[in-house]
Structure 1
């Protein structure tokens, strides 16, 4: 007999009812006595120096406004410390502390913090700022950087100019951003595709605005923040403020969307903590929607060049993928668009490069599918173009170049079922009915097109810890300093814990969102399930081992000396006895509770013999009304190979969300701004329910125990990867127009003379 399995069931998310009834509480909902309210003042120029006189005069006006309590500017801000180099050299954490000098490095840079007794009074006082600047020439684009001699660095390298060639993606040394394998020179081939693609600046645009509440109790700081890296924020805050890390507590019980924007410590959080310390009372700061465009990261623009060489049969002999992208002058970040090209298709020659230009713009950061989302738009569009040049079905071309092993390391995959994804997806979509020629399908004057693309994203895992606390009633609480960002992590972790302990789902809980819990990494890069799930599984397994040990050693129990004790559906079972776990623990008293409460840490599961990677296939149908330039995604089939699916409802929702995200990237999303001033103009459009296609989402559902003991890989990112290319490829099939610049706008679709505009 064994316990009913929880993994694999579509368990309703634990916090779901609270969310739909309005009882869920996010950072801005937190009740703290004696709150003051802050708002930030932002720069209106891209580059220059703010004058001391205008700062002083503005601060005096704001301080005299009704309800104003304090104003912090570069003239009176307490000294903030620089972050360690090992944090800033490959993460998007700003080298220059906020309000530490008078220079302006981008539009929207924080220039002051105004604190008042109400949000309205703080906003009014901030509006009294009238800053004047010594305007300096701003570098606003890639070409301006690459075509000029860079200015010298400033402030001992805190401010940097020019461009550089980054070596690797964040802390992942093996994910090389400069890679050359095979022959030095490009081979000759029967078919050659050499094309350029661009992606625009994208904003995360989560529903929940970034919000912070900072409160000091002597020299102890408590910060409530909408963050998805509690432990990283604790370390960065301590470093900026020059206080011991144990003196900082970060709380984030629920995060209302992020997509990458809440993965790092942003400057408004530091300034909120400074303001609270200065006035001696708690301070709440909620960014406005407009302020988030310049204050919490974005996906930077990319320009990508793809060169593919293949023989007459479509076998690739060379792949080159060159990316130029942007970062700010005060922090590092490189959009790693070429990473997928290193591993996705078999080729004897590969060249991947990335160059990052420092411009006068806010710091970019991770955004859902960092690297893979824009990179696969280019690679998968180029593969479609190559297929057209070969007169070959795009799916067949991908199958012929399937990579049976990881080309970057030479190691086998720990589990790969991409060919199954292609097969299942094609059959469910009806791909065999797709005509090769574009403009072959129409319906009442509306052009129809079918497109597809491959999806891929790494299977990642990092070290994590989990605590276990057993209560007298037999319930067991697991806890880790991870985050509930709306993906159902608490639910999935309870399923893991219930299966590993043999307890019922109602007997286990999982707590997150507090830095007092054992450490966990940021919730991003599709690693939380594998990372925290491994810690929960290890803790649950140890709990069972300890319970067995105390029972067999306890002469007062009927299980003394038994060698076959199991935990089945909340009961302790041996060959001759059965007793509820709650009863056993109650009888054992404090000694049992102490033995069954502990903390477990696990490593990152170093993969020495294999590599974990998730794969998938997207198939989509679009309708294009060329009379009005409207493209509508009507039908979507996706098949994903993401290891073991812990909760199919949560997994399907994740993929649906990722596809919707990718549809927005393809057809709608770009931050509108004045190219001369960098000021925001217009609106930022995202998909709504009206833009939702009919979804058919399935999973291969084969466990990958090479990554973790529960066999799961993350799902959050891969749904968005390859989506934009599938849409663009379907639009080409519908119209014969090859669009290589995102987003695909109505102007691009309203061209009637197909022959005149080329492909």
Structure 2
């Protein structure tokens, strides 16, 4: 609630590639500028020159190298073209609807396959790729070590009897959080305050400073609560920059909220993948060769690769392995990380291929995975800090009743529909980064911990309060945890399942230091009943916590933690998914009815929140398997239909459990992340269960009713 607020609405382009004519932009701006309540119309013709982001921000992160409104070129449908600012949201929306322009349309490449088969040629005069790329290559074979791998010699010809060689595809997926991306920008002289729905306040401040050409210390970003993200709010998107520019232009605070339609083009997505997997095994099912080649897409203005082959490098023992990734620059919005990035689409391909190999070997799918279990990280050669995947398999199989699974597909029926059982392995890296924490003890002895991290709905503030209270030895009602302010000590973006390990380590260090200082104050104060006591014998639980108020100056400080020692061990979480599906082939409906998941994610700090995270992840993967795709017309790059999501009616019966083996090698509280791994492996488990139910091996997501319906035979035998 900001006094004097004006409202902004984005105008976006409607073609995938070309140029907006200057005269039509000028004409549209004049017409819209005279509409009721309009305060300002920001276009490429009057937008102040914006800076370029530093290379380190755009190399590993999907941040756009083309500043918004920097020219009249069109790189994709939904590119920001103008910002209309008015006194009310209604007036801004009405005026924005009047903003129509003319285009000089150029040929577009809208799929990676099109780039692969018909690469665009450089323009003879400028040397720039004709489809307008702001990056040097239109088709890139990435050579970063983390995305490519080759080891061992291929098996001798004729040695191995079993082979799987298949292509698996995944579509564009949308993040679709409950809360729309929204920003309020407010200038106070040369100081900028941004209220944003983001989970990257520290990085957003850095990127904004680069775009706007001002020092970071003149920007404050606030994001105390985020209503869902899944990756879409982990980076700075262009509407935030434009909101700040618009607010400076009108001299008052400006609020800009993306529409639901604009969320599909403006805050990232999971890109399409085309994955070729080749497995070769001996007759007993021992894998001797693995290849996993990924073709995926990025935009012409950003560098991003969906790392679908990462899990393949480490999951199963394989003497010979080749993993590669190729990324095509296409005329489409910039993709980004999405829940289980790389692992979610990559495990769909790998785990369905493993199921196919088991079928060819006539070995139970679970048994085949056990036979090819990798005892160490094959890529680095390091031992795992803690791996209990075999225990996940065993406990999951027992809880599910896997031993009763018939080997032959189409063996189970219930109520006139086919029933199938499927399983898959789940895995996701354990990560930790540096973070800071501030401690403030108030006049009542209440202790407030704070860090520039984020609450995205997964319970970060709850868990951080638990860690602080438990470590400091205080009642939980005497402790609070604040987040979402760039003025707090720095923390990384909330993603990659790292927040609890990362920020939790900083909170642990701060609370441990607070406890040490409090005890030292008590035993060193002549007026304290504990004066002269041995610090090792002091039990804070017997001390009135309000006594801390007397020492609040020395009990208010900042501290930090590093990323820990990750040089000698490999950190990875593992799990096993087992599911049951019912397939009604008359109407093509697949229903997931029962789910068992057993997770090995280190220590579990809050069992209810942890279970809910995995439950949400499974539901996320269910949507990925059966419902979700952005249906683009490859010729126009325009969406063709609706985007389907799972609802409560699609919820299976969940049986979710954790092994709860602490991993103190990664961090002092023994945790590894939970948010991502719940989705990883889920689409494959469903696809494998559908094969068991129907006998159909489906390799393209999502699996639709057309895939599942039995052919309808007309009288006379014609289909």
TM over 0.5: yes
1:66 aligned counterpart, secondary structure: coil
C-alpha separation between the residues in 1 aligned to 2:201 and 2:156?
Answer: 47
Counterpart residue number, 2:444 = 473
Q: State yes or no: 1:724 paired with 2:686.
A: no
Deviation sequence 1:660-704 (CA, Å, 0-9, x none):
000000000000222211112211000000000000000000100
C-alpha separation between the residues in 1 aligned to 2:83 and 2:143?
Answer: 37
Match of 2:526 among 550, 555, 565: 555
Q: State yes or no: 1:581 paired with 2:545.
A: yes
Counterpart residue number, 2:236 = 265
Match of 2:42 among 57, 72, 86: 72
- 8 Å contact from structure 2 (residues 184, 195) kept in 1: yes
C-alpha separation between the residues in 2 aligned to 1:343 and 1:448?
Answer: 32
C-alpha separation between the residues in 2 aligned to 1:554 and 1:186?
Answer: 78
Q: How does 1:486-565 map to 2 (within 5 A)?
A: 486-565=457-536
Match of 2:28 among 19, 44, 58: 58
Shift of 1:567: 6.1
Q: How does 1:455-470 map to 2 (within 5 A)?
A: 455-470=426-441
Counterpart residue number, 1:5 = none
Q: Give the stretch that moved more between structures: 438-447 or 625-634.
A: 438-447
Counterpart residue number, 1:739 = 698
Deviation sequence 1:584-606 (CA, Å, 0-9, x none):
x24x3xxx211111111111113
Shift of 1:140: 0.6
Unaligned 5+ runs, structure 2: 714-719
C-alpha separation between the residues in 2 aligned to 1:239 and 1:408?
Answer: 37
Q: State yes or no: 1:355 paired with 2:358.
A: no
Match of 2:83 among 113, 120, 139: 113
C-alpha separation between the residues in 2 aligned to 1:486 and 1:609?
Answer: 34
- 8 Å contact from structure 1 (residues 98, 267) kept in 2: yes
- 8 Å contact from structure 1 (residues 186, 318) kept in 2: no
Counterpart residue number, 2:716 = none
Counterpart residue number, 1:213 = 184
C-alpha separation between the residues in 2 aligned to 1:251 and 1:676?
Answer: 41
The 3 A distance-change label for structure 1 pair 506 and 306 is same
Match of 2:142 among 153, 166, 173: 166
Q: State yes or no: 1:91 paired with 2:61.
A: yes
Q: How does 1:280-679 map to 2 (within 5 A)?
A: 280-565=251-536, 568=539, 570-571=541-542, 579-583=543-547, 585-586=548-549, 588=550, 592-679=551-638
Deviation sequence 1:100-131 (CA, Å, 0-9, x none):
01100000000010000011110111111111
Shift of 1:545: 1.3
Match of 2:72 among 80, 90, 102: 102
Shift of 1:472: 2.1
Give the length in aligned residue pairs.
706
C-alpha separation between the residues in 2 aligned to 1:648 and 1:520?
Answer: 25
Deviation sequence 1:265-289 (CA, Å, 0-9, x none):
0000000000000110000000000
Deviation sequence 1:54-105 (CA, Å, 0-9, x none):
0000000110000000001000000100101111122100001000011000
The 3 A distance-change label for structure 1 pair 159 and 75 is farther
1:720 aligned counterpart, secondary structure: coil
Shift of 1:565: 4.5
Q: State yes or no: 1:38 paired with 2:8.
A: yes
C-alpha separation between the residues in 2 aligned to 1:680 and 1:73?
Answer: 25
C-alpha separation between the residues in 2 aligned to 1:213 and 1:519?
Answer: 22
1:213 aligned counterpart, secondary structure: strand
Shift of 1:559: 2.3
Deviation sequence 1:576-632 (CA, Å, 0-9, x none):
xxx31313x24x3xxx21111111111111312211100000000000000000000
C-alpha separation between the residues in 2 aligned to 1:112 and 1:497?
Answer: 47
- 8 Å contact from structure 2 (residues 600, 658) kept in 1: yes
- 8 Å contact from structure 1 (residues 212, 284) kept in 2: yes
Counterpart residue number, 1:11 = none
2:277 aligned counterpart, secondary structure: strand
- 8 Å contact from structure 1 (residues 626, 752) kept in 2: no
C-alpha separation between the residues in 1 aligned to 2:120 and 2:586?
Answer: 47
Counterpart residue number, 1:254 = 225
Counterpart residue number, 1:757 = none
- 8 Å contact from structure 1 (residues 160, 358) kept in 2: no
C-alpha separation between the residues in 1 aligned to 2:539 and 2:640?
Answer: 61
Q: How does 1:140-151 map to 2 (within 5 A)?
A: 140-151=110-121
Q: TM-score, normalised by structure 1?
A: 0.91
The 3 A distance-change label for structure 1 pair 648 and 186 is farther
Q: TM-score, normalised by structure 2?
A: 0.96
Match of 2:670 among 711, 718, 721: 711
Shift of 1:44: 0.3
Deviation sequence 1:370-403 (CA, Å, 0-9, x none):
0000000000000000000000000000001111
- 8 Å contact from structure 2 (residues 151, 321) kept in 1: yes
Match of 2:708 among 749, 755, 758: 749
C-alpha separation between the residues in 2 aligned to 1:184 and 1:240?
Answer: 49
Shift of 1:552: 2.7
C-alpha separation between the residues in 2 aligned to 1:463 and 1:114?
Answer: 40
C-alpha separation between the residues in 2 aligned to 1:307 and 1:336?
Answer: 17
1:718 aligned counterpart, secondary structure: coil
C-alpha separation between the residues in 2 aligned to 1:483 and 1:458?
Answer: 20
The 3 A distance-change label for structure 1 pair 200 and 556 is same
Counterpart residue number, 1:680 = 639
Shift of 1:167: 3.6
Shift of 1:751: 2.8
C-alpha separation between the residues in 1 aligned to 2:537 and 2:170?
Answer: 56
Q: Give the stretch that moved more between structures: 692-701 or 308-317.
A: 308-317
The 3 A distance-change label for structure 1 pair 711 and 563 is same
Shift of 1:313: 1.0
Shift of 1:553: 2.6
What is the root-mean-square deviation of aligned Cα atoms in Å?
1.5
Q: How does 1:188-267 map to 2 (within 5 A)?
A: 188-267=159-238
C-alpha separation between the residues in 1 aligned to 2:556 and 2:322?
Answer: 52
Shift of 1:444: 2.9
Deviation sequence 1:159-195 (CA, Å, 0-9, x none):
4451112244xxxx7xx11110111567641201111
Shift of 1:753: 9.4
Shift of 1:142: 1.1
